[in-house]
Structure 1
Amino acid sequence: MGGVTHLIVFLSMFSAITLMSEAQYLLAVTKDEPSRQYYTTVYIGSAAMTSPVNLLIDLGTNLTWLNCRKIKSLSTLGLVTCKSSTCKSIPGNGCDRNTCLYRQPRPLGKNTVVTTGRVVQDNATIFTTEGGQPVHIAPSRRFTFSCAVDKYLQGMAPPIAGVLALSPGEFPFWRQMTSAFNVIPKFSLCLPSSRYGYFFMGTPSLGGKKTVPMTSTTLKIDSGKYLISVRSIYVDGVPLTLDPSLLEGGAQLSTVVPFTVLQTDIYNALAQSFTLRQRYYMTKLFYLMISVFKYIKSTNLIFVWVLNLFSQNIGMTQTPGGHAPFKHCFGEGASGRNMDVSVMEIGLPGNGKEVKWRFQGANMMERVSETVICLAFVDGGKKPNESMVIGTHQLQDYLVEFDLSTTQMAFSDPLILHNTNCST
C-alpha cells in the first residue's frame, strides 16, 4: 500500500477526532494491548512516497530514532554532516568521517543498551484540525532523526519500529514540529485505556466546544526527565505517614513504564493504607447491616443478605501472591466490577497552595484474571533511581499537558467524570 493510500486510510479511521479536538496539530496514539506500549504513526518521506512508521512514545528520549529500512524511498533521506550546526547541537553526538552520529539509549529493559546510529533528515507529515475543521494533512516539514538496526528494537511490540522522542531536550519531535509550524512549544497526551488516543501539539480541546478543567503545577526538568514536586500522598483524604526525604526528588513521568513504580517504603505505606481502608468500609457496612436487623423479621433472611453483601466486596478477600509484578491482590466482587475502591491523591504545588492529582477506579486497579484484581502499583525496591515513577496505567484517560513555554504541567480530572475518555 502506497504512502498516500496510508494517509487516506488514517484520515478515515480518525475522522471522529475532528468532533473531539480543536488542537492545531494532531497524531493518533495507539495502545498495543499485549505489551501495554503506546505508539504513534509518523509519515516520513516525500508527498509522493510517504512511509508510515510506528514509533514508541517516550518522554525520556531526546532524538527520535528508528529502523530506516522501514522507509520505502530513501531518495529524500539526507545525511547530517559532522560540521553542521545541527550535529553540533545534538547532545552526545559523534562523527564517522563526515557523518554525524547519535548514541541512542533504549528506553525499555533494566539494562540500558546504547547504540550508535547515523543522524539523518527527511520530510515528516502530521495532521491539523485548525479550529475544528475536518482533519487534513499539514505541509510536511524537515525532520531530524537517527537510524537504528532491528536488534535494538528488542522488547518493543511487533508494530513498533523505533522511538518518538518527547523529552525536554533540544531535538525531540514536539520541539522540531512546534518550531517548524511556529506554534507555542507545548504538547499534550491523552493515553487511551484501549484502542486509540491523542497526541496534540498546540492547544488541546476534548469534546468540541466542551472544555475539560485543567489543574497546573510546576514542571521540573532534570537530566532530560519530566518531574513534578510531590508534597504528600493521600488515600481517601488521609495522608500517608512517610519520611519527607522520600518525596524530595519528586515524581518522574513516564510513557514506557506500564505501572507506577514506588520506593519500597512508599509502596508499603500505600498498600497498607489501601487495604485498611477497604476493611474499614467493610466493617462499617457490617455494622450498618446489623443496625437494620430489627427491621427484618427473618433471621434466615438477614443471614443470606449479609453473606451476599460480603461475597460481593473485595475488602476482606485478599489473595496470596503469584500475580507479578503486583504484590497486593483481591478476590473480585461487586466493588471490583465497579472499580469502587479507595482514591489516591498526590499533593502538588500550585498557585500558592497545594493541588491534588486524583487517581481512582480503573487507574488504581488492574485485572489479572476473571476473579482477581490487583493494586496497580509496583514495589521498586529500597534504593531506586527515582522514588516515584508515574506509569501509563495511572496516566490513561487523563489529558496531560506539557507546556515548555511556562515550564508547567497541567492535568485534567479523570475524564470519566466528564462523560468522556481518551479512547476513540
Structure 2
Amino acid sequence: MCGLTHLIVFVSIFAAITLISEAQYILPIFKHEPSKQYYTLIYIGSATTSSPVNLLLDLGTNLTWLNCRNIKSLSSLRLVTCESYTCKFITGTTGCDGKICLYREPSPFLLTNHTVTKTDRVVQDKATIFTTENGVPPSIVSFRPFTFSCAVQSNLQGIASPISGVIGLCSGEHPFWRQVSSAFNVIPKFALCLPSSRVGKFYMGATSSFNTPLFGGNNPVPMTLTPLTLVSGKYLISVTSIYVDGIHLPVNPSLLEGGAKLSTVVPYTVLQTDIYDALAQSFTFNAARKGMSETTGHAPFKHCFEEGASGKNIDVSMMEIGLPGNGKEVKWRFQGANIVERVSETVICLAFVDGGNKPNEFMVIGTHQLQDYLIEFDFSTRRLAFSDPLSLHNTSCST
C-alpha cells in the first residue's frame, strides 16, 4: 500500500509538467535517510497480481536482481533456459545449472579484497513504469519481457530493509534503462535527479530536452557536456584539474589520469589521500577565517567544525572539478550542502572521505555530491550532461 501511495503522489506531481520533447519513461527516486541509499519503485507481474518492488539504484550493476519472495504471485515468472539466446547473451557459456540460466555479479557494496558474488536464477516477467509525451499527463505503461535474476534474502546484506534488490544501471548489455530503450525504441539514454529529501526523478529516453516549471519555466537549467568514458561497466569522467574557491588545488597530475568514477551507492565522495589532504587543508583554512573551530569524533568524516559565531553558514568553500568540454575546460561546481554534511545543530563536516594512498580509483563521486543536480548519461553521443547546482535556480530534485 505504501508503494502504491508513493506512485500516486509521484504521478500527481508529474501531471503539472509540460514537456517539449519526445516520450519519456519515468520512475520516482526515494532517499532512505538512515543509510543514505537511493532507490526506485517499479511494479513486477501481470495486471491483476503486480507487486511494488523497491530497488537500489546502482550504476555498477548490469542485470537487475531482487528477492523474488517479495513478489505477490510468481505465476507469471518465466525461467530463462540455458539454451536461450538471452542466457547466452547475458552469461556467455558459463552461467548454467542444468537447464536453468544463472547470473553472477559482485555486490554493490564491495569491501577491499573481499568480493561477494551473487549466483541467481535468471527470470522474466512484465514491468510497469510511467510514460509521458507532448504535455500529456503521465500514464502507466508495461513491457515484457523484463529480464532479471532472483536473489535469496542473504544476498541483501548491506541493503536497507525497505529495499528488495538492485536495479542495474551500468553501461553493460542488460541494465534496466537499456531494456526500456529497446522495448520502446527510444534514444539510449537516462538521467537521474537524486533528491536531498522527498521524491526525485529517474528518466529514460528523452531527458534533458524538456521545459518544466520545476526547472525554471521557460528558462530551463543549463546543462554542461563532457565526454563519458565506459570501462568494464563503470562510468568515468576525465578530471583535468580541481579548484577551491577558484584557486587551483596543488595535486600531482598523475593522480588525475585514471578518471573519476560516478557512483549511486557510495554516499560521500572518496578521494585519494593526497587529494583529500589538499582539499581539507583549503577547507580548514576557509573555515578558520569564518570563526569556526575544529572538532573531532564524527566518523566517517575527518574534518568537522563548530560553527560558533559564524552561525548556520554552510557556504564555507566552493569546489570545482575541471573537465574536458567542447575544445575547452568546463567546470562542475559543488558548494553549500554538496560540500558539507550537518551532523548536529552546531557542527558541520567536510563531506568527503579519505580513500587511502592507493585506492582503485583516485576519485569516486558519491551521492551526497550528486544530489540536487540533473545528470544525464547519453549513449548515443557518449557524453555526460550535468546541470548547474539546482539551488542556484531556487529549485531542487526534491518534489
Q: What displacement does 1:9 show?
A: 6.1
Q: What is the 5 A alignment of 1:76-95?
A: 76-91=76-91, 94-95=95-96
Aligned residue in 1 for 2:212? 207
Partner of 2:397: 422
Q: Secondary structure at the match of 2:142?
A: coil
Q: Which residue of 2 aligns with 1:291?
A: none
Q: Deviations over 1:32-79 (max 9, x none)?
A: 011100000110001121111000000000000000111111111001
Q: Is 1:189 paired with 2:186?
A: no
How many residue pairs were aligned? Answer: 387
Report what 2:121 is aligned to: 118
CA distance in 1, matches of 2:311, 2:265: 26
Q: 2:161 aligns with which of 158, 163, 183?
A: 158
How has the CA–CA distance of structure 1 residues 334 and 365 changed in structure 2, closer, same or farther, with 3 Å as cutoff? farther
Structure 1, residues 327-376: CA drift from partner, whole Å, max 9, x if none? Answer: 11111246562322210000000000000000000000001112110000
Q: For residues 27 and 285 of structure 2, what CA distance do their matches in structure 1 show?
A: 43
Query: Which amino acid in structure 1 is aligned with residue 97 of structure 2?
Result: D
2:170: which partner in 1?
167
Partner of 1:240 in structure 2?
249
Q: Distance in 2 between matches of 1:203 and 1:11?
A: 22
3-state SS of paired residue (1:139): strand
Matched, 1:341 2:341: no
- 1:396 maps to what in 2? 371
Alignment equivalent of 1:229, drawn from 220, 223, 238: 238
C-alpha separation in 1, matches of 2:260 and 2:282: 20
Distance 2:341 2:5 in 1: 36
Who is 2:97 aligned against?
96
Does residue 322 (structure 1) correspond to residue 327 (structure 2)? The answer is no
Partner Cα separation in structure 1 for residue 121 and residue 238 of structure 2: 37
**2-structure distance, mates of 1:378, 1:40:** 26
Question: Bigger CA drift: 39-48 or 126-135?
Answer: 126-135
Instruction: Return the alpha-carbon distance in structure 2 between the equivalents of residues 29 and 206 of structure 1.
Output: 20
* 1:351 counterpart = 2:352: no
**What TM-score does the superposition give when structure 1 sets the normalisation length?**
0.88
Where in structure 2 are there 5+ consecutive unaligned residues? Answer: none
Deviates more, 1:326-335 or 1:46-55: 326-335
Q: SS state of the match for residue 169, structure 1?
A: coil
Maintained 8 Å contact 2:7/2:28: no
CA contact (8 A) 2:317 2:335 kept: yes
Alignment of structure 1 residues 369-380 onto 2, 5 Å: 369-380=344-355
Which residue of the partner structure matches residue 29 of structure 2?
Answer: 29
Amino acid at match of 1:380: G
Show structure 1 runs of 5+ residues with no match: 283-312
Q: Residue 147 of structure 1: SS of its match in structure 2?
A: strand
Larger helix proportion of the pair: 1
Query: Structure 1 residues 232 and 9 mapped into 2: Cα distance closer, same or farther (>3 Å)?
Result: closer
Q: Tell me if the contact between 2:271 and 2:364 (Cα under 8 Å) persists in the aligned partners.
A: yes
Equivalent of 1:407 in 374, 379, 382: 382
Q: Which secondary structure does the structure 1 equivalent of 2:122 belong to?
A: strand
SS of the aligned residue for 1:140 comes to strand
CA distance in 1, matches of 2:84, 2:170: 22
Q: 1:398 touches 1:422 (CA, 8 Å); kept in 2?
A: yes
Q: Which residue number corresponds to residue 17 of structure 1?
A: 14
Residue identity matched to 1:42:
I
CA contact (8 A) 2:292 2:310 kept: no
Q: Which moved more, 1:246-255 or 1:82-91?
A: 82-91
CA distance in 1, matches of 2:211, 2:30: 17
Residue aligning to 2:269: 260
Structure 1 CA distance for aligned equivalents of residues 32 and 358 of structure 2: 31
Deviations 1:283-321 (A, max 9, x none): xxxxxxxxxxxxxxxxxxxxxxxxxxxxxx4x44122x2
Partner of 2:71: 71
Q: Could you say if the C-alpha distance between residues 88 and 11 of structure 1 is closer, same or farther in structure 2, counting changes exceeding 3 Å? A: same
8 Å contact kept, 2:276–2:353: yes
> How far, CA to CA, are the matches of 2:69 and 2:303 in structure 1?
44
Q: Distance in 2 between matches of 1:12 and 1:342?
A: 36
CA gap of 1:278–1:6, structure 2 versus 1, over 3 A, is closer
Match of 2:136 in 1: 133
TM-score in terms of structure 2 length: 0.93
CA contact (8 A) 1:11 1:136 kept: no
1:85-112 CA distances to partner (integer Å, 9 max, x unpaired)?
A: 1111114651011111000321025133
